[in-house]
Structure 1
């Protein structure tokens, strides 16, 4: 994701800045969209799925993180979760305004987590909002606080109806603890559901998704780059696996407006095989995935084939 390194500081204060690019003409993204669809398995269409909207807004969010006054080191940041909403279909040819900023720096037992928010508007109306949560190890929020920092992004009136904050279920991610002291809550071992598919991921999927997403972090590009960060070999992009699950749910079942969530656990080593289960949210067992609203939708899980090493879980919920 970059090459910026920074030393841990006693506190974290996010820059009060919103990056904005107006009048983005998506007419020219047709070839890029087709390449993306081919990599993640989306059907050919002129409609931009949430995963591609994440890719489209990713450079602006990255620009916020490489600012000299951004207090966290970009290189080595861990992507914990992603939540996005598509409020109406965005098609090739739509003109968009894109905004991005960082907010909600808060304590994590291993450092600080922060939200990178990206929004897209068409004709002044919000059409997409994505929140990517990252962990920066070795940092702490100012004065050891565990509450959000005073900077919480721009005026929410500009994004009325956009995504509210959502807590992660107990045990789903390492920042939640039963005793409130930063120690993981004890819980029963996770039991995989009945798989509905198996993905066989080649070494090449890292560079392929890197080419269509712009995320060329060396941990995804080659074994040599991954070993420099302690991995035995290259790992798949978390957003690739989440986008592939979104594609398998499919446009017809997710609808024109939908919410898409992903929670990341152990990375997928490449090459590798991944078992996947996509099922109705109403059929998900207790503790199997984040709770969803009464509107229903789908839950997906992915884990190492034949094992219980969990890679990710998430939901796709029509709005």
Structure 2
């Protein structure tokens, strides 16, 4: 099937998109599924705003370097993802989608002074025991070569009970550190990422979706985990994370990591109950 590519002159207005998303949620009963939009959105010449990068680094805990953190292009691609999901052709209402997995493949680091294209599309609508899943695929392209790829898997729940779970293949090791997750990290990460989903911003909105209080962004938890490996990772890698259970704000989490034959395994757990919030791996490519 031929994909239609739309080049954008500037990043989409997330405020307008969220207002459209609210309307899509109110009229969600009219959406009865169907195919994913066969559209690719492209920003052809992306440059790095150093002040924005610095704010992102402070929120997540990265050191400032000449290379972009592997998770940083995700926030640049996020407005394009929201535009695709807020479009009337998208088969599901945006409110209620659950981000269950994220895979980032970095073929080489992107440099702060590089100009690159960002492309975002949807792929692989498939059944799940609790509903349906699909992927949002973002790519950074330099000189016609993909140097970075991000695959975010979302779940649209239509049945079943309990939260989303991925395949747990290995047990996490003993915690190597306890991290404090401050109450304001949802607001701070929303300011730099543009992801202003109310469940991250205040307890009243979170309660409406079944959470006792606001929860941290999944991509903040992934980025925070990667800061623990700074200076020890190669240029080319695959970082694969399953989001198991939300991290409430504020809270403490137990971080664990150990090396294996292909790279690293890491996890975040509730230090009292042992319940996993996130499990991940870093593989060399």
Deviation at 1:279, TM superposition (A): 1.0
Which of 195, 200, 216 in structure 1 is aligned with 2:180? 200
1:62-211 equivalences in 2 (<5 Å) = 62-138=82-158, 174=165, 192-211=172-191
Change (3 A) 1:11 1:90: same
Return closer, same or farther for 1:61/1:67 CA change in 2, 3 Å cut-off.
same
Partner of 1:150: none
Q: Indicate conservation of the 8 Å contact 2:183/2:249, yes or no.
A: yes
User: How many residues are paired up?
Assistant: 260
Q: 1:9: how far off? A: 5.1
Equivalence for 1:179: none
Quick one: which of 225, 243, 253 aligns to 2:205?
Answer: 225
Q: Is the 8 A contact 1:249 1:278 kept in 2?
A: no
**Counterpart in the other structure of 1:23:** 45
1:303–1:310 contact (8 Å) kept in structure 2: yes
| TM-score (normalizing by structure 2) | 0.86
Q: 1:11 to 1:61 in 2, by over 3 A?
A: closer
The offset of 1:174, in angstroms, is 3.5
- Residue 67 of structure 1, CA deviation: 0.8
Q: Which moved more, 1:9-18 or 1:234-243?
A: 9-18
What secondary structure is seen at the aligned counterpart in 1 of 2:132? Answer: strand
Match of 2:245 among 244, 255, 266: 266
Say what the alpha-carbon RMSD is for the aligned residues.
2.1
Gaps of 5+ in 2: 1-17
In the alignment, which of 244, 258, 264 is matched to residue 279 of structure 1? 258
Structure 1 unaligned residues grouped into runs of 5+: 140-172, 177-186, 283-295
- Residue 48 (structure 1) aligned with residue 43 (structure 2): no
Corresponding residue SS for 1:59 = helix
1:215 partnered with 2:195: yes
Higher percent of residues as strand: 2
Secondary structure at the aligned position of 1:254 is classed as coil
Q: Which 4+ runs in 1 deviate beyond 6 A?
A: none
Q: Secondary structure at the match of 1:195?
A: coil
Deviation of residue 60 (structure 1)? 1.1
Structure 1 residues 19, 191: closer, same or farther in 2, change over 3 A?
Answer: closer
Provide the residue aligned with 1:315 in structure 2: 281
State how far apart, in whole Å, the 1-side matches of 2:125 and 2:171 are: 33
1:301 to 267, 274, 279: 267
Report the 3-state secondary structure (helix = DSSP H, G, I; strand = E; otherwise coil) of the residue aligned with 2:51.
Answer: helix
Tell me how far 1:226 sits from its aligned partner: 0.8
